[in-house]
Structure 1
């Protein structure tokens, strides 16, 4: 076990028989850097097809083959999908080719998660903003999501027994995602002159965590990094993260009930109805169980722009259904179901706590930390508090797809063998320009932790605000992107 490893130079003597000269073994410390500093070679380009789409955009769909396990390249490959986009131009003279325009600098978008696929480039409000700044963009489906060898209960089952599935899932954290990025960068820039082969990254939420991993272990591939609500806590186990999270979610509950005090009784009415014939007897359209504890999870919306109002709309509709008809209609059930899409993103449920782990097992940290916050209990005398971005072991009972991989999830939760995802020493001597948006009211990535991380990254410039929430990159894209580019392009006297 890593926590029991001997220090440098400690000696052990092994005797097999008396009067035999002992064999002395010097144990060197095991360092996670050895595992993370793995050499990455160019990904194999399997297919690239380009199409023009509305909005004067030219989109190329890319498929790459990369090692499944970079520490064992011969163990097989997985397929990665990415979609690149640039402006479609129709020059007056088509024969007038300009290499500078064909080799535009790359900006790679690393989306939130873990476990979330990228949407189409047209679905992002900032696509044209970035293109207008002279980049071409690459939207990457991180491994295990979208079209990048997606993780689902059915695809996991193809891997073999549960212990094999659990080991396979360990290959889907930020370290492997970053290596995929680096392999793809080498492929896409192979024909570029050396001075243009670095690329830029913009990481949202978990994509910011990936950016810090990139800065830690492969900074030579980066030109600059833009991070939006993703300055991760530099911790090695998740307990302090979730302890801080419960406090932030409690404050959002207070704001919710302050804005909608009538929902105090409505929520209690809904919970009482859900539990009336036995918790979990109500089925959702996804075939999952609507339990009181699952209903509490809609509070995950509290940290978004408009999130409090979205939760109120669901509560209002559900309470109306119960009063008017004595049951929840499909519309209300679908609204609850659509917010809680863990069945479609099992990586989120299985690996969410592991994004904070190094040499420690998470052991369902959020579930354990909940015991310190009785206000989140269903039986609380006060208002019933909703939970936030937490995962719990019981989700693998209440969700229809997650139910199929319960044993695998428990195995992963009990695993302590997790290598480092960041290197504070490297970050302290960082030379890559880093620009980060930090939200004081961020419910998902703690503000205090974000500030500490920013201070540990040499040269990190921050835009700090208390009028934006975690999803500002979508809800207030023009403003927050302008602020970070101003950090890059302007000076402060």
Structure 2
């Protein structure tokens, strides 16, 4: 594996005039912070972008956060790619870290939230399709890490390090951080976020389809009547043009992509409710109501968070192209494909049609209105192969930063075996491995997962 591209990082410019301080219930002082960083760290002449971060400071003593503001920092790196952070007061991680004696900085990664967000509108400002694609290429984990390091150098006293917790893709970024700038890190925690050290996504998706298949089995065993309901919905969508409230089309493929939720606590139940509501509409009215369509749309975030689609497969690429990996891997499976309505409509009515998972397909850039405007950019990115390295296995093998990783055996999004292989390549990394938690446990079972990681940190292993 070739070496990573490295360059000196300078402190980010704090935009103090745009900073805002306020208090929220529950003992929180919030400082909204804005920073200016280079778009391209290797070519600063390309201009700068703005990065937004919310600083959550304990105010439990009602001292206006005076004591809390002196506490060491934990930064939270959100999963995705493509999602900003929510309000700190709504995330249980905040209180957990407060109790451990930290303040927390929730950073909207570049291109997400309020950090120069990417959309068809903002991309169009970059110029041609080629120029738009070149712009998106700068929004991967390596530059996210450089942003974090620039912010650390700006915000913390000289020589002071901070700690990182990375959820899912945020964990991928944390391992890139360990590879690229370990000098800035005091300790690293990942939750469902140990990345596969691969050069393209093909094997990632081969394993992911197997896990999605097993989650479909659980779904249909729990809700056997949904076999017929889903088939009825498929027939309706095949024979009717169904427009979504915010434009775009609801096709059989788009409906089946709701299986993306299967990997989280409560995900199977949430999809069942959508299926039940849609089937009820068809039974009573022969069409899908606005309310049902709106509910389906609210479960699919590709239009509002387009990096999740256009930038998804590139998070696995190092020196190789993705070439629509999820679609190619699916096409290579035996027929009839259990994930295809086109195939399954020809088999026995009692056979279930399987939902797909966290995969990105070319058809999405036709069915989703916002993504459709970025179709050519997505094609350009899928064929691009000169991706820089995201991880340095030599540096990881010599790692001196304490690392604590939560790995979920039943994780539908981050393969457990890949995760454990990577953890094994990081010197000193300690793992909490469980089969009773799912991918979103850091939010749904915060005390459980972070409590176990903290035991590893303090040495409680018996």
- Whether the aligned pair in 1 keeps the contact of 2:27 and 2:62 (CA below 8 Å) is no
- Whether the aligned pair in 2 keeps the contact of 1:79 and 1:148 (CA below 8 Å) is yes
Measure the CA separation in 2 of the matches of 1:481 and 1:229: 12
Measure the CA separation in 2 of the matches of 1:362 and 1:305: 30
Within the candidate set 383, 387, 405, 1:418 is matched to 387
Measure the CA separation in 1 of the matches of 2:9 and 2:440: 32
- Give the gaps of 5 or more residues in structure 2: none
Within the candidate set 263, 283, 303, 1:323 is matched to 283
Q: Deviations over 1:305-332 (max 9, x none)?
A: 0111111111111111101111111121
**Counterpart in the other structure of 2:396:** 427
Q: Deviations over 1:417-452 (max 9, x none)?
A: 100000111111110000010000000000111111
Distance change in 2, residues 1:159/1:341 (3 Å): same
CA apart distance, 1:349: 0.3
Q: Give the number of aligned pairs.
A: 451
Measure the CA separation in 2 of the matches of 1:101 and 1:377: 53
Distance change in 2, residues 1:187/1:302 (3 Å): same
- Whether the aligned pair in 2 keeps the contact of 1:304 and 1:471 (CA below 8 Å) is yes
- Give the gaps of 5 or more residues in structure 1: 1-30
Larger radius of gyration: 1
**Counterpart in the other structure of 2:251:** 291
CA apart distance, 1:122: 1.1
Within the candidate set 320, 342, 361, 2:302 is matched to 342
The answer as to 2:212 corresponding to 1:241 is no
**Counterpart in the other structure of 1:25:** none
The answer as to 2:89 corresponding to 1:122 is yes
**Counterpart in the other structure of 1:353:** 313
Within the candidate set 174, 177, 188, 1:225 is matched to 188
**Counterpart in the other structure of 2:422:** 453
- Whether the aligned pair in 2 keeps the contact of 1:32 and 1:419 (CA below 8 Å) is no
Q: Larger relative contact order (C-alpha < 8 A, sep ≥ 6)? A: 2
CA apart distance, 1:74: 2.5
Runs of 4+ in 1 over 6 A off after TM superposition: none
After superposition, residues 10-89 of structure 1 pair within 5 angstroms as 32-33=2-3, 35=5, 37-47=6-16, 48-88=19-59
SS in 2 for 1:183: helix
Measure the CA separation in 2 of the matches of 1:293 and 1:321: 19
The answer as to 2:127 corresponding to 1:160 is yes
Measure the CA separation in 1 of the matches of 2:239 and 2:51: 47
Q: What value does the CA root-mean-square deviation take over the aligned residues? A: 1.5
CA apart distance, 1:132: 1.4
| TM-score between the two structures when normalised by the length of structure 1 | 0.89
Measure the CA separation in 1 of the matches of 2:23 and 2:218: 46
Measure the CA separation in 2 of the matches of 1:321 and 1:49: 47
- Whether the aligned pair in 1 keeps the contact of 2:4 and 2:389 (CA below 8 Å) is no
| TM-score between the two structures when normalised by the length of structure 2 | 0.95
After superposition, residues 102-117 of structure 1 pair within 5 angstroms as 102-117=69-84
**Counterpart in the other structure of 2:145:** 178
